[in-house]
Amino acid sequence: MEGILPLYKPKGLTSHDCVFKVRKIFKTKKVGHTGTLDPEVTGVLPICIGRATKIAEYITDAGKAYEGEVTIGYSTTTEDATGEIVEEKDLTRSFSKEEIVSILDSFKGTIQQTPPMYSAVKVKGKKLYEYARAGIEVERPTRNVTIYDIELLDDRQMFEGKNISFRFRVKCSKGTYIRTLAVMIGEALGYPAHMSDLIRTESASFHLQDCVTFEQLEELKNQERLSEVLLPLENGLSHLPKFEISDKVAEKVKNGAVLEKPIADMFQSEEPFVLIWNGLALAIYQVHPTKPEYIKPVKVLRNE
């Protein structure tokens, strides 16, 4: 059995827990997830099964979309609702909808983020959360991420009270920490803040409405209909450029051959692209790094 399972990740499970459960349900060891979701976060977690595990990294690298809630008034150790309170500050003023929309708009584009201490980012071979649990503070790498779009999901004209919370929708690049974004929104408003809720609504071409729950999977397993929920691995490559090839070229591609660039100006960037034969993704290629007139395989997906 092979394909991509658009799983709805429930609260309380790690991404690895989900992989473990899927292995048991599908009775196969060749299973991999496509990007870590914190235990408290729900939503879209594409799981690759069988041959589809070869393309997991391309789904991980694609854009994501989330719906979250930021609470202004106090910050936490983990930057979400599970952590201990670090700083608390009652709101002494109200905010208009226009002010909040303006702050959210200011984050569109490329921004710099420093990953939270309670995260899986590795420093000197250890995950940051391992240092955090040991009470050790280490220097964290700052990185650039892209916010493609962000919008307020609240119709109130004024926001007031000791603490205020509001929901927002964001489309972003790989590596964006929404927890950290919530903290940054609070800082821009002049108050400590944290992310109080989060759901991932999109990952690459997979959407919330496409997802199946573990309860549904158990039901399908009992009916011997599990294969019905698996999507072709091609779905996980829909965001990459495609190029149709002939039968003759297909034989070479299956063997991982370096090929002359089909059309001189077709592939100018270093971005990988997919070679398609009879509707099937045979391989992922890229322009040769030292011989720009050629293309070379990054990964052969089908060789039969």
The question of whether 90 is a catalytic residue gets the answer no
Question: Could you tell me which of 178, 187, 234 has the C-alpha nearest to residue 206?
Answer: 234
Whether 255 and 303 have beta carbons less than 8 Å apart is answered as yes
Residue 46, classed as helix, strand or coil, is: strand
What is the rounded distance in angstroms from the CA atom of residue 141 to the CA atom of residue 8?
31
Q: Which of 38, 154, 155, 197 is catalytic?
A: 38
Distances (CA, A) of 70 to 79, 159, 281, 290: 10, 13, 41, 48
Residue 140, classed as helix, strand or coil, is: coil
What is the rounded distance in angstroms from the CA atom of residue 38 to the CA atom of residue 102?
29
Q: Can you point out the beta strands (E) in 89-192?
A: 95-96, 109-113, 122-123, 126-127, 143-152, 158-159, 164-172
Amino acid letter for position 56: A
Q: Which active-site residues does the annotation give?
A: 38
